[in-house]
Amino acid sequence: MSIYILRIVLFISIAFNSFSVQSNFNVSDIKQPKFSDIDGCIITLKTKLITSKFSWMFRDAAECFDYFAVSYAQKPSSQETLDNLFVLGDLILNNSKNGLWWVENDGNVGDPNVNRFVLAPMLDGLYFLNQSGIQSEKLEQFKIVLKKSIDFQVSAYKKDINWDWGAKAGGTYPNQDLYFSLITALAAKIYEEPTYMVISQTMLAKVKTSLLPDGGFHYIGNENESPIYHALNTIILGRYYTITDDMEALEIIKKTVNYWPLVMTAQGIAETWSDIWLKQGWLPIEAGALAIVTAVTGDARNNWLLGQVIRNNNIDQSILSSLYAAPYFKKLPLQEQSLPLEYVWQDANIRGIHGRKDDWYFGFTQGRGLRNSFVGGLISSNTNSMAGIFRGAQVAIKVNSDDKKQLFLSDVSDQSSMAYVSDFGGALCTDYVLHSNLISGLTDYKSLDSASHWHVTQLWQAEKTGMLGAMVLNTDTPGSAEEIAFKFLFGPEQIYQLNSDTWVSGELKIKIFSQFASPEIKVLPTNAIFPAPSTNKWYGLQLLKSSVNATVDDKFVVVVWVGPLANDPPVRVEYFLDKNGVGADWQDGHKAMIFYNQASSPKIYNLPFSGIDKITGISEKSNFITEYPVIDHNLSFTLNNNECIMFNNRLKH
């Protein structure tokens, strides 16, 4: 069927109005927010106030207030509806402490960001009620309380509130910075104070500096991004433009045009193996985010992916997505462009690659911050959009029984190198000292774990048939650890053992070659500190050794292959301890090798080699495919300092 099919009337619920748009999906595919009416929102909040200390309840209630305030402003109904809206507003504001819904040490579950997540939708609803000409003493009361909240945020973003770490990261924390920009823009409109708009535009300019080369945003500091927060950023930017007509917001959205085509499968699943380490949740993406970027840019790829998201991500739209993205659904283009069935693309957002071969998606990242994993992949098909996920590979050390001392992250200043061949694949090499749970942008990581002596080297080659990897742990000085663990994380399917060295998870196959401990199937959350709800019961393979006393000569090595179930893994692998390299041979004659010189000076390699008279390779610094002869059963090559090379006899010279 042609992708240019008959477009239909799409109902997007904003004040329960409908409008005609161009689309390739059915009205019933768009699932609206889960609530019946404003009474339901009131009852829910009253119940939670009695039973819960979870401050995030006020975010849900504020978004509900926003939704029904905008609906009423655009299509006034009964006085009873307006009265109930005021009841909900009173409940939210009367349970604040001087305009705050979470403060330090108040005994409630939450963090400083709660206040911005509540304040922005409250102001948005108030703005539209004001615009509609509704006169009410209650609205004036709301404005007085909310003014305190606004001015607190302005103080916080001047770094005057020590416990508001979100504001202290202002200018380097896009999702909170955009909330602050929206808050101050709405304040400028509601209170008719131009100073707020200056503050808003100043922060928006800072958000622009957080853009990455291929359209992502840093999540915080210099970390990689997360698709869930990219979607949120886009939705808030869309609302900002609706309120302000500020072209700078549109320019930022336009610069994100390449983001979704890089991270999404043809079924609308966003990979999260490359996310900042604490946000790898494999959560579905809301259609509103893609509608906004599509409407603003007219991009045919994003338009096609929008249809895939709606058809395959069977989720209820959030209130903000259904409300803030609604105007953009009116402006979708006709053109669509599907993803190619095969590709390997460089992704400058993650400093790595994304690749695809039919249903197999794969990649690696050098990262832009602290990493718990550098690789990942998934099987995503029309019959099962998450048929098998390789969430990543981790090395973790528990120094003692105190979990806070667990080491599992790389350093911001780690060494890494990659080699890449368009439409083939690439190799990633990285070398780092293990760190504990730090967040670049919030923590002065340089002052912590500086004495860590545990050292990790990872070598990976990713191609259209699968991924070959070697992970090596050693210590720079003699040391002990309560536990050393190598973790290979999968999901959402259970794992079962196929034979002595091979396992299956959904449509993925895993073969482990070098074993310093017996692999164990167990539940493995994606990260060690904040398990994401969607993955905290997913399984993985863990190789664990307890009560370790290591010398500088000890190397703990694991070599693994991960790929589609239908593909054959290598029949033989070899890790070259003295050369920091790994090689593999397949039954059909396929050969692959990776070597890494992490030293500070160039190094000449002489490798005993037989079976073929030449092999092709590519390194990061040469950046072109070279044919290396095998002379007298010897392969010779030179690597510069911090240079990675991959050899593969499938590479075409």
| CATH 2.70.98 is right for the domain spanning 342-593 | yes
Q: pLDDT per residue over 182-202, tens digit each?
A: 999 999 999 999 999 999 999
Q: Which pLDDT score, from 0 to 100, does residue 525 have?
A: 84
Tell me, what's the pLDDT at 314? 63
Give the single-character DSSP code of 251.
H
For the stretch 408-426, pLDDT in tens is: 999 877 899 999 999 899 9
234/238 Cα distance (integer angstroms): 6
Least confident of 4-13, 239-248, 484-493, 544-553: 4-13
For residue 502, give Cα distances in angstroms to 29, 463, 499, 543, 569: 40, 20, 5, 14, 9
Task: Supply the pLDDT for residue 623.
Answer: 74
pLDDT digit string, tens, across residues 306-350: 999 998 876 667 888 889 999 999 999 999 999 999 999 999 999
Distance CA 65, CA 89 (A): 7
- Count CA atoms within 13 Å of residue 249 on its CB side: 23
Burial 96-130 (b: 16+ CB within 10 A, else e): beebbbbbeeeebebebbbbbbbbbbbbbbbbbbb
- What is the spatial distance between Cα 46 and Cα 572, in angstroms, rounded to a whole number? 63
Map tokens 């928006």 to a residue: 204
Look at residue 522 in the predicted model and tell me its pLDDT.
94
pLDDT at 301 over 60: yes
Determine the pLDDT at residue 5.
Answer: 27
pLDDT score of 31 more than 60: no
pLDDT on residue 412: 74
The answer to whether 233 and 180 have CB atoms below 8 angstroms apart is no
Is the pTM of the predicted complex or chain greater than 0.85? Answer: yes
pLDDT at 16: 32
What residues contact 427, with CB distance under 8 A and at least 6 apart? Answer: 418, 419, 459, 460, 461, 462, 594, 644, 645, 646
Cα–Cα distance, 648 to 645 (Å, whole number): 10
What's the rounded mean pLDDT across residues 586-610?
94
pLDDT: is 611 or 192 the higher one? Answer: 192
pLDDT at 444: 53
* 8 A C-beta contact, residue 373 and residue 271: no
User: What is the rounded CA–CA span in Å between residue 347 and residue 420?
Assistant: 11
Burial annotation 11-37 (CB, 10 A radius, 16+ → b, else e): bbbbbeeeeebbbbbeeebbeebebee
Report phi then psi at 122, rounded to 5.
-60, -45
Judged against a pLDDT cut of 70, whether residue 518 lies above it is answered with yes
pLDDT digits (tens, 9 = 90+) for 391-403: 999 999 998 876 5
3-class DSSP state of 233: helix
SS (H, E, C) 117-133: HHHHHHHHHHHHHHHCC
How far apart CA 323 and CA 33 sit, in angstroms, is: 10
CA 515/CA 532 separation, integer angstroms: 29
* Mean pLDDT for all residues in the chain: 89
- pLDDT value for 527: 66
* 280 φ/ψ sector (left φ>0, alpha ψ -120 to 50, else beta): beta
pLDDT: which is higher, 364 or 578: 364
What is the spatial distance between Cα 473 and Cα 585, in angstroms, rounded to a whole number?
A: 24
From 312, 400, 331, 368, select the one nearest 25 (Cα to Cα). 312
User: Which pLDDT does position 187 carry in this prediction?
Assistant: 99
CA Rg, the chain, in Å?
Answer: 27
Residues 463-477: pLDDT tens digits? Answer: 999 999 999 999 989
The predicted pLDDT at position 414 comes to 83
Q: Determine the Cα–Cα distance for residues 88 and 74; give it in Å rounded to an integer.
A: 19
Picking from 479, 497, 381, 376, the residue whose alpha carbon sits closest to that of residue 434 is 479
Can you give the pLDDT at residue 47?
A: 94
Q: Is 91 exposed, middle or buried (0-12, 13-18, 19+ CB in 10 A)?
A: middle
Mean pLDDT confidence for 601-618: 92
CB 124 within 8 A of CB 71: no
pLDDT higher than 50, residue 380 = yes
- Is residue 368 very low, low, confident or very high in pLDDT (cuts 50, 70, 90)? confident
Q: Where are the domains of the chain?
A: 37-160, 342-593
Residue 354 has pLDDT above 90, yes or no: yes
pLDDT value, residue 532: 61
**Which segment of 410-424, 526-540, 545-559, 576-590 scores lowest on mean pLDDT?**
526-540
pLDDT at 443: 60
Q: Which of 25-39, 415-429, 432-446 has maximum average pLDDT? A: 415-429
**Spatial separation of the C-alpha atoms in residues 64 and 57, rounded to whole Å:** 11
Confidence of residue 36 (pLDDT cuts 50, 70, 90): low
- Identify which of 597, 225, 221, 282 has the alpha carbon closest to the alpha carbon of residue 412: 221
- Please give the pLDDT value at position 25: 41
- Give me the mean pLDDT over the 231-240 stretch: 98
Under the banding of pLDDT at 50, 70 and 90, the label for residue 10 is: very low
Does residue 374 contact residue 430 with C-beta atoms inside 8 Å? Answer: yes
Per-residue pLDDT tens over the stretch 261-291: 999 999 999 999 999 998 888 989 999 999 9
Determine the pLDDT at residue 312. Answer: 85
- In the chain, pLDDT over 70 holds for what percent of residues? 90
| Phi and psi at residue 386, to the nearest 5° | -135, 65
| pLDDT beyond 90 at 126 | yes
- The mean per-residue pLDDT over the stretch 91-95 comes to 96
> pLDDT category, 603, cuts 50, 70, 90?
very high
